[in-house]
Structure 1
Amino acid sequence: MSRTTAALAAGTAVFALLLTGCGEDSSTAAAPATTTPAVQVDPGKAGMFVVSYRNAFPKLAAGRDDLAVSGVLNQTCSDIKAGKSEADTIAGIVKSSTNGSVSATEQEARAVYDMAKLMC
């Protein structure tokens, strides 16, 4: 229960920070239509995600560097922008969040999905 509370608190904090810096980055190059576009999230948003993720899911973040954690966000945003269903995207989050023998629960993956949707 405390992880859910932490995830919600982190999500709320991220949402509040995003409200102050919302905007689209029109400088990204288009990817070929035959591949899933690789989305690179704004570094500021990625940093907020990393901090929130580490605070909400310390076991999933243990021993992972910031690039690996922000990779969860980039992959999730790529899946969302590619039009993958919410269920498929959440399944991808469970897979990309696995840290050794520790896997994200469905509830944790849904919290990550909700945070990522705000940042994509």
Structure 2
Amino acid sequence: MSRTTAAIAASTTVFALLLSGCGDDSSSTTDSSSSTAAAPTAEVDAGKAGMFVVSYRNAFPKLAEGRDDKAVADVLTQTCDDIAAGKSEPDTVAGIVSSTENGSATATDEEAQAIYQMSKLMC
């Protein structure tokens, strides 16, 4: 139960940071949408990726244990790519479960849903 609370707190923190004006990404979304038509990919801002890494490490210490920042940020990138490609929420959450696997630690459905919600705010 405490992991879910931590995930909600991390999501709230991330959301508050985004609302406080971390940057205007409106110009980058129009550029990236016109550059490729085959497979839409989401470009994740480095600042947002950094916030995600900190939030992820605080909310899910067992899943983050032994992983470098790039590996954690790749969870965000993959999730944003899935969302941009139009994957359904359940399929994206299932992908999060497999991409967050860390040795014997695997994200629960609740944790994967919390990661999805955090990622969705940053994409």
Do they superpose with TM above 0.5? yes
Residue in structure 2 matching 1:90, options 89, 93, 111: 93
Stretches of structure 1 lacking an aligned partner (at least 5 in a row): none
3-state SS of paired residue (1:9): helix
What residue is the counterpart of 1:30 in the other structure?
35
Q: TM-score, normalization: structure 1?
A: 0.92
Q: CA deviation at 1:102?
A: 0.9
Within the alignment, does 1:60 sit opposite 2:63 as a pair? yes
What residue is the counterpart of 1:10 in the other structure?
10
What residue is the counterpart of 1:70 in the other structure?
73
Structure with more of its chain in helix, by fraction: 2
Alpha-carbon distance between aligned partners in 1 of 2:40 and 2:69, rounded to the nearest angstrom: 21
Q: TM-score, normalization: structure 2?
A: 0.90
**Contact 2:41 2:85 survives alignment (8 Å):** no
**Contact 2:7 2:59 survives alignment (8 Å):** yes
Alpha-carbon distance between aligned partners in 1 of 2:44 and 2:3, rounded to the nearest angstrom: 25
User: How many matched pairs?
Assistant: 118
Q: CA deviation at 1:22?
A: 5.0
Alpha-carbon distance between aligned partners in 2 of 1:82 and 1:64, rounded to the nearest angstrom: 26
Structural RMSD (CA): 1.4
Within the alignment, does 1:47 sit opposite 2:50 as a pair? yes
CA offsets per residue over residues 55-90 of structure 1, 9 Å max, x none?
000000000000000000000000001000000000
Opposite residue 71 of structure 1, the aligned amino acid is D
Alpha-carbon distance between aligned partners in 1 of 2:95 and 2:36, rounded to the nearest angstrom: 21
CA offsets per residue over residues 26-46 of structure 1, 9 Å max, x none?
25472351xx33433100000
